[in-house]
Structure 1
Amino acid sequence: RVRRPNDHPEIERYNRTIDEEFLQMGNYIDDVDVLNRHLTDWLVEYNFKSPHQSLGYATPIEFLTEKLDKKVLPMCPIRTAT
């Protein structure tokens, strides 16, 4: 659906971040191959090297790794037929 940002807020925020922090900073390139290489480099920097204030100055990958390490996964009950 068009113009329904509440349908997929995470994707909408992701697109906004790329627009505001990558494209509007002068990284718009007509050559798709060059654009993809620059965008890939930027995404690696953004997600693996740059600390984010909203994540307690952790990088997104550090934040996610820590969150997953703390998550307790439910055990599946084992049943035997009698």
Structure 2
Amino acid sequence: MPGIRTAAQAKAWLEHQGKSVQAFAREHGVDPATTYQVLAGRKKGRRGEAHKVAVLLGMKEGIILNETQSPSNDQEIGS
């Protein structure tokens, strides 16, 4: 990824793709309300669903764990 996006850049990225926030959320199986909150800065994306949304939008680097994975099974960062 070339860099971390700001909220404004993430919104512009969605617009450039012709996707609404609702469509993005459906496509990635995340809550639309959480997606709006991350884009508005009301949620920082530190954990849970907000973390997943922020990573998918390119607003932060991170790992998205599957529901079957646990944090103890983390892969090394940078590998």
What is the TM-score with the length of structure 1 in the denominator?
0.26
Higher helix share: 1
What is the TM-score with the length of structure 2 in the denominator?
0.27
Which structure exhibits the higher relative contact order, with contacts defined as CA atoms closer than 8 Å and separated by 6 or more residues?
2
